Amino acid sequence: MESYAPLAERLRPRTLDDYIGQSHILGKGKPLRRALESGIVPSMILWGPPGVGKTTLALMMAEITKRQFHSLSAISAGVKDLREVLSKPSGLFPPILFIDEIHRFNKSQQDALLGAVEKGQVTLIGATTENPSFEVNSALLSRTQVYILEAFGKEELSGLLNRALTTDPWLKEKNIEVVTTDSLFRISGGDGRKLLNLLELVVNSQVGLEKIRISDELVEEIVQKNLARYDKSGEQHYDIISAFIKSIRGSDPNAALYWMARMIVAGEDPKFIARRMLILASEDVGLANPTAMMVANSCMDAIMKIGYPEGRIILSQTAIYLATSPKSNASYVAIDKAIALAEQTSHLPVPIDIRNAPTKLMKEIGYGKNYKYSHNYQGNFAQQNFMPDELKGQKVYEPGENARENEIKRSLQTWWKDWYGY
């Protein structure tokens, strides 16, 4: 019976007007809303964090447009399951095929799906928490529209909480007073489903009381008693990857391996771990040890080929290597400085001496005239201005304090001491 379904399922909206959030794509007059109201459903990928209504929106699209609806989970479905769905007869319009966690489909599965989308056998709606640019092949991506769904803010969470308390029969029959909501909203982390699950957990813990007073203190107490094990789509997912990254940045291989092990035993996608280490190799190790980038990239390549269980050894080797490497965030800081400077000065012209001169006219008016070709000078270096004239001497890169970048600093002092102040 529906009354025994989880609260989040009971409150799943059935119409666009009941749908909370995502007004940037579903608000009055927005293109996607107009399309749905006209009975049009394009193939699309819904990209966003957990609990923001991706599955709900797909179900709603099928209901609004009166289409057949088939659902597969990329975690458990294979090519055989996909072909079985595609072999089913459809009505006047192609059915909607909803694939949850589409980023987990491998190349052969995505290729099978591509053919069905191209032939118009199905209208694809894929849901993913991962950047589809990295996880969905370009051919399939080019045939879909990507819509980004945003985590719920306080306003949306408040609306969802109010709807639950005022429309759900099970909650309405209880005498509930919400005293404070800070902990409910903070622990939910913008995840609507998590908010409703937490509300249900708190209310169930107080069954039998004449009045249930929901406060920050009560919520914190209940959560501590029922602290969930690592959840790949929940708050601990982000907390543990944060602890992992901070442990490597802090040069503690023991803690790094512990947090990695927590992810491995919970079944975390090894590509996710490898990708984060590849980012860290540039952001936190950087020029202090440029080889770290190659090690992390090799790890990513290897994980793409073999996965678990053998992949755990490669992940371990890379984590230890990165944790015990010297650290520098100088490249990371430098590019952010450069971007900020570029945003403020994008109107400045390229100095005429270093402009390209592919035509006779350009050469005649001085393009590239005084450019000094570095290889024609001693040490392959000739001091000249490469910045816009107004930014001459503007420094954005400051070498870090480590052996490798101390060498870089000495070179820069030889070349640019008077110019950039190294």
| CATH code for the domain of 197 | 1.10.8.60
Per the domain annotation, does 8 fall within a domain? no
> How would residue 231 be classed by pLDDT, with cut points 50, 70 and 90?
low
Higher pLDDT, 81 or 90: 81
Answer yes or no: do 142 and 33 share one domain: yes
Which of these three, 281, 306, 323, is where a domain ends?
Answer: 323
Evaluate the CA torsion angle 187, 238, 260, 132 in order and state its sign. Answer: positive
- pLDDT above 50: residue 210: yes
* Predicted TM-score (pTM) above 0.85: no
Q: Answer yes or no: is 342 within a domain.
A: no
Residue 379, domain extent: 349-420
Last residue of a domain, one of 131, 148, 165: 148
Q: Tokens 């447009």, residue? A: 65
Cis peptide before 253 (omega within 30 of 0): no
CA dist., res. 193 & res. 52, Å (int): 8
Q: How many angstroms separate the CA atoms of 334 and 354, rounded? A: 23
User: For the residues 19-40, what does the mean pLDDT come to?
Assistant: 88
* CATH code for position 299: 1.20.272.10
Which residues share a beta bridge with 126? 45, 99
Closest CA to 253 of 226, 286, 282, 277: 277
* Residue 3 within any structural domain of the chain: no
Q: Are residues 201 and 268 in the same domain?
A: no
Mean pLDDT confidence for 190-217:
89
User: Residue 100's beta-bridge partner residues?
Assistant: 73, 127
Amino acid at the residue 242:
S
Q: Under a CB-based contact definition with an 8 Å cutoff, are residues 198 and 41 in contact?
A: no
Regarding whether 379 and 286 lie in a shared domain, the answer is no
Q: 163 lies in a domain?
A: yes
Alpha helices in 281-329 (DSSP H): 291-306, 311-323
Indicate whether 84 and 190 sit together in one domain: no
Q: Does 275 share its domain with 317?
A: yes
Report the percent of the chain where pLDDT is more than 70. Answer: 96
User: Does residue 207 share a domain with residue 137?
Assistant: no
In this structure, of 67-71, 77-81, 285-289, the range with the lowest mean pLDDT score is 77-81
**Reported confidence tier of residue 3, pLDDT bands at 50, 70, 90:** very low
Q: Identify whether residues 29 and 103 lie together within a single domain.
A: yes
- Tens of pLDDT along 310-327? 899 999 999 999 999 999
Q: Based on the domain organization, do 314 and 384 belong to the same domain?
A: no
- Angle 66-71-76 (CA atoms, 0-180°, nearest 5)? 175
In a domain, 16, yes or no: no
Over 90: is that where the pLDDT of 421 sits?
Answer: no
**Residue 361 pLDDT grade (very low, low, confident, very high; cuts 50, 70, 90):** confident
- Within a domain: 278: yes
Judgement on whether residues 312 and 287 belong to the same structural domain of the protein: yes
**Residue 297 falls within a domain, yes or no?**
yes
Cα torsion angle, 337, 339, 340, 341, sign: positive
Given this model, what pLDDT does residue 109 score?
A: 81
Query: What is the per-residue pLDDT across 295-315, written as a single tens digit (0 to 9) for each?
Result: 999 999 999 888 888 899 999
Q: Are residues 370 and 252 in the same domain?
A: no
> Do 40 and 117 reside in the same domain of the chain?
yes
Chain segment 244-264, per-residue pLDDT in tens: 999 999 999 999 999 999 888
Give the pLDDT confidence score for residue 179 in this predicted structure. 93
Both tokens of residue 178?
A: 């919400």
The tally of domains found in the chain comes to 4
Share of the chain above pLDDT 90, in %: 45
Give Rg (Cα) of the chain: 28
Last residue of a domain, one of 148, 180, 208: 148
Q: Is 242 part of any domain?
A: yes
The residue-averaged pLDDT of 92-99 equals: 88
Average pLDDT, the chain: 88
Banded pLDDT at 2 (limits 50, 70, 90): very low
User: Same domain for 215 and 244?
Assistant: no
Q: Are 280 and 247 in contact (CB under 8 A)?
A: no
So what's the pLDDT on residue 358?
Answer: 84
| Residue-level pLDDT at 234 | 53
